[in-house]
Each structure stands twice: as structure tokens, then as C-alpha cells.
């Protein structure tokens, strides 16, 4: 896989370099609530601009259905990217109002050496995400006409077989951006060269989303800690009542199988011993008090739902992480967006920051959670920009965006 450093050494001055970034940030109206992914894209963009490239940045945002939707416009991202580049000595960022139309063509044509433009949301064109190879290829051809070289730096999208991720690099000289190279290097430390003890913390809502990665981790991890909504399927698989907690009954046989295999292989599964419960899901808009109660994990009352791991579980999980040499964490421990149910996620984050281990926060909700709760990025070994991509890599899957860069 060619790196951006090799591409720059070969010479990019005066060339149009297409950077597929991942700028899929959370928005509240036009306000960016977490600019972590934009900040992560800056080093690659700046390196190319400083080398005299004419940088054409592209990304998706949200899930539009192949047509423009104002709420998914990248205009706020262009403004923030410009602010961040200006803060590091870069110039302004122009914005194209479409992806391959008149605005994009004119904006790219007007670029000077070292200048940067951002195209509108790639998913406003149906060819970006199409499952039809010909439709996707046609869009990739139009994107290729805007550039002389390609840099893949959107790690959060490399698990998608999309036009800008998979088809476009096959049409242009290509290289991996600094962010992608860093992410792959980190994930190799979780798969090929693991320092032990290796502890994994998995949370989030659905156990079905994590089954494939659990399958692989049973071969690699020494300890797996379970929290979030998925914990209640594990507790039910052990025969405990879980009240009105989130439950995937159809996954219980698979979970039982994993618990049995873990015991056979000497992998320790750690489940909550107590939970913070309420009689209804909290109002995340108003953050109104939810009147939580702490109950034993094996005695959740009927008509109450578990929404976080409890204080004893928090102590237990911190203890189980204290001696680890490597920790991977994906998924919050509860409804961290509400203060009544943020304690478990905060406790795990604190345990990671207190640990001398190599700690990796696996993107997505986990990354949003640690920032929402006030933890600095540099308090962890690495915060991934791609939750889904990280999980699929750990599952052993071939990621289309990486495969295209390796050709």
C-alpha cells in the first residue's frame, strides 16, 4: 500500500489530488457537535496543500437517499475545515454546491497550487452507494475527471463498497492517507501483535451487531467485558429476568454458545453485577430526571429497564481493566446521553485513562461518548474514526476501501 509520503515525494505540485475523507460528523441544525473527524482529516489535507497540490476533498454525511437534502449538506463542515486549516497555517476552503456538476467542475478548475475545496455530499448522487456496478462505475468516472491522483483517508468508510471508496482509486494513481495508515497500524496491534493481558469492552444496544467480532475475539482476547443494551441478552442467557430491558431473544442460543466456548478456551466473560434501572426510557432532549434505581443484575424488577451498569459493576470493570496491557473498547455502557445513566461509560473511560495499557476507543458512539463526557483525545492511546470499519477489521473481513488501496 503506497503511502501519502511516497506520493508527495514523487511530486504533487500543481496536481489535483482527490482526498476521500470521512467528515461524517454529528450535527444539530448547522452546528457541529463533535468535530473529531474533521480534525483527524486536517494533517493529510495540510500535507498535500503544503506540497503544492490542488486538494479536492470529498465525503459523505448522514444517509441521504441519492438526492440532495439540505439537512445533510457539508456546508457547515466546509466552514469548520477552513477554520481548522487556518489555525495551522492553511488557507480558506472553497465549497462546491454539487459533487460532479457545474459547481464542482468550476470550483476545482479555479483551484491554485496549495488550495483546498470541499465537494458537496457524495451521497447526494445515487451512484455513490449503488449496488449496481455500472452505475457506481459511471459516478466514479465523473469523479476521476476532477483529479490526477487519489488519497484514501476516510477510514470510517473503508468497509463500504462505494464509488469514491472502492471504484475511484482503481482509476487513478492512489495512496493511503496518514489517518488510514495510522488506523491500520493500530488495528494490527489488536490482531497480529497483541500485548497481554488483552481486555475488550463491548457495549451498545444490540448483541447482534457484535456477534461476528465476539466470534473472532474468543480466539484472541483474555477477557471480554459486556455492557450496554446487549448485556441484558447475556444476562437472560444465564437465566436471569431482565424486566423491560432491551432483549434480543433470538440471539440467546448464540450467546449461550459463546459463553460455553469462552469457558472452554479460558476467556473470561465479565457481566454486570448490578444495573441502574428506570420505569421508562429517559427524555434525552430535556434531560429531565429519570428517577433511577440501582438493582442487582439478576433481579431486575418487572416493568423496569436497565439503562446503565451500576456502581458495583463500575468498580468490577475498573478492576478487570487495571492489569491489562491492551484494551479495545467499542460501545457505551448505558444511555450516556442522559446524566442519570452516564456513570458506567464514564467509569470505563476513566479506567482506560488511568491505565498504562495501550488503549483503543473504537470510534462511533464510544468516541462521541468520551468527548461528550469531557475526556481529552490524548488521554487514550488511540480514538478510532471508524466504529464499523474497526469492528469489521477485527472480524477478519476484507475491507473494500483498503483492498482498493493495496492494488
Catalytic one of 127, 227, 364, 401? 364
Burial 149-158 (b: 16+ CB within 10 A, else e): bbbbbbbbbb
37 is in an annotated binding site: yes
123 is in an annotated binding site: yes
Place of cell 470505563: 348
203 is in an annotated binding site: no
Q: Cα dist. 150→12, 18, 407 in Å?
A: 11, 5, 13
Catalytic one of 15, 16, 20, 37? 37
Q: What is the rounded distance in angstroms from the CA atom of residue 361 to the CA atom of residue 384?
A: 6
Let me know if 152 is a catalytic residue: no
63 is in an annotated binding site: yes
Let me know if 37 is a catalytic residue: yes
Q: What is the rounded distance in angstroms from the CA atom of residue 28 to the CA atom of residue 8?
A: 37
210 is in an annotated binding site: yes
22 is in an annotated binding site: yes
Q: What is the rounded distance in angstroms from the CA atom of residue 364 to the CA atom of residue 375?
A: 15
Rg (C-alpha) for the chain, rounded Å, is 22
160 is in an annotated binding site: yes
Q: What is the rounded distance in angstroms from the CA atom of residue 40 to the CA atom of residue 38?
A: 5
23 is in an annotated binding site: yes
Let me know if 65 is a catalytic residue: no
Q: What is the rounded distance in angstroms from the CA atom of residue 118 to the CA atom of residue 82?
A: 10
* Stretch (H or E) spanning 234: helix 231-237
298 is in an annotated binding site: no
365 is in an annotated binding site: yes
337 is in an annotated binding site: yes
Q: What is the rounded distance in angstroms from the CA atom of residue 158 to the CA atom of residue 165?
A: 6
Catalytic one of 152, 343, 386, 388? 388
60 is in an annotated binding site: yes
172 is in an annotated binding site: no
* Stretch (H or E) spanning 93: strand 93-95
227 is in an annotated binding site: no
Let me know if 388 is a catalytic residue: yes
Helices 75-87, 36-50: axis angle to 10 degrees equals: 60
Catalytic one of 79, 105, 206, 220? 206
- Pick out the residues of the known binding site for (2R)-3-phosphoglycerate: 37, 123, 160
- Pick out the residues of the known binding site for ATP: 210, 306, 337, 363-366
**Catalytic residue IDs:** 37, 206, 364, 388
- Pick out the residues of the known binding site for substrate: 22-24, 37, 60-63, 123, 160
- Pick out the residues of the known binding site: 22-24, 37, 60-63, 123, 160, 210, 306, 337, 363-366
Amino acid at each position: 500500500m503506497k503511502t501519502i509520503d511516497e506520493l508527495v515525494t514523487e511530486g504533487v505540485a500543481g496536481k489535483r489530488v482527490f482526498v476521500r475523507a470521512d467528515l461524517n460528523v454529528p450535527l444539530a441544525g448547522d452546528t457541529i457537535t463533535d468535530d473529531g473527524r474533521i480534525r483527524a482529516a486536517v494533517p493529510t489535507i495540510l500535507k498535500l496543500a503544503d506540497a503544492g497540490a490542488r486538494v479536492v476533498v470529498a465525503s459523505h454525511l448522514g444517509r441521504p437517499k441519492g438526492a440532495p437534502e439540505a439537512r445533510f449538506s457539508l456546508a457547515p463542515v466546509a466552514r469548520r475545515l477552513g477554520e481548522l486549516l487556518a489555525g495551522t497555517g492553511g488557507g480558506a476552503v472553497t465549497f462546491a454546491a454539487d459533487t460532479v456538476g457545474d459547481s464542482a467542475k468550476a470550483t476545482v478548475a479555479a483551484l491554485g497550487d496549495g488550495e483546498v475545496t470541499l465537494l458537496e455530499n457524495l451521497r447526494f448522487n445515487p451512484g455513490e452507494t449503488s449496488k449496481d456496478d455500472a452505475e457506481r462505475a459511471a459516478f466514479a468516472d465523473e469523479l476521476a475527471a476532477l483529479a490526477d491522483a487519489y488519497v484514501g483517508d476516510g477510514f470510517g468508510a473503508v468497509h463500504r463498497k462505494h464509488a469514491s471508496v472502492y471504484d475511484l482509486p482503481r482509476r487513478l494513481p492512489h495512496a493511503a492517507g496518514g489517518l488510514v495508515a495510522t488506523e491500520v497500524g493500530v488495528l494490527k496491534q489488536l490482531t497480529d501483535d497483541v500485548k497481554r493481558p488483552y481486555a475488550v469492552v463491548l457495549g451498545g444496544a444490540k448483541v447482534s451487531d457484535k456477534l461476528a467480532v465476539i466470534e473472532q475475539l474468543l480466539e484472541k482476547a483474555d477477557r471480554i467485558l459486556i455492557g450496554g443494551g446487549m448485556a441484558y441478552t447475556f444476562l437472560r442467557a444465564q437465566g436471569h429476568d431482565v424486566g423491560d430491558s432491551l432483549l434480543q431473544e433470538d440471539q440467546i442460543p448464540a450467546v449461550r454458545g459463546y459463553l460455553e466456548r469462552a469457558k472452554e478456551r479460558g476467556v473470561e466473560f465479565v457481566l454486570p453485577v448490578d444495573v441502574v434501572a428506570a420505569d421508562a426510557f429517559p427524555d434525552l432532549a430535556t434531560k429531565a430526571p429519570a428517577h433511577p434505581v440501582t438493582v442487582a443484575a439478576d433481579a431486575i424488577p418487572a416493568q423496569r429497564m436497565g439503562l446503565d451498569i451500576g456502581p458495583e459493576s463500575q468498580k468490577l470493570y475498573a478492576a478487570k481493566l487495571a492489569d491489562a496491557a491492551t484494551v479495545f473498547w467499542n460501545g457505551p455502557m448505558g444511555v450516556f446521553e442522559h446524566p442519570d445513566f452516564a456513570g458506567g461509560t464514564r467509569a470505563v473511560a476513566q479506567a482506560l485513562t488511568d491505565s498504562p495499557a495501550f488503549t483503543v476507543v473504537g470510534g462511533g458512539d464510544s468516541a462521541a461518548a468520551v468527548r461528550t463526557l469531557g475526556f481529552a483525545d490524548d488521554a487514550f492511546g488511540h480514538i478510532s474514526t471508524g466504529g464499523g470499519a474497526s469492528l469489521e477489521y477485527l472480524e477478519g473481513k476484507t475491507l473494500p476501501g483498503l483492498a482498493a488501496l493495496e492494488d
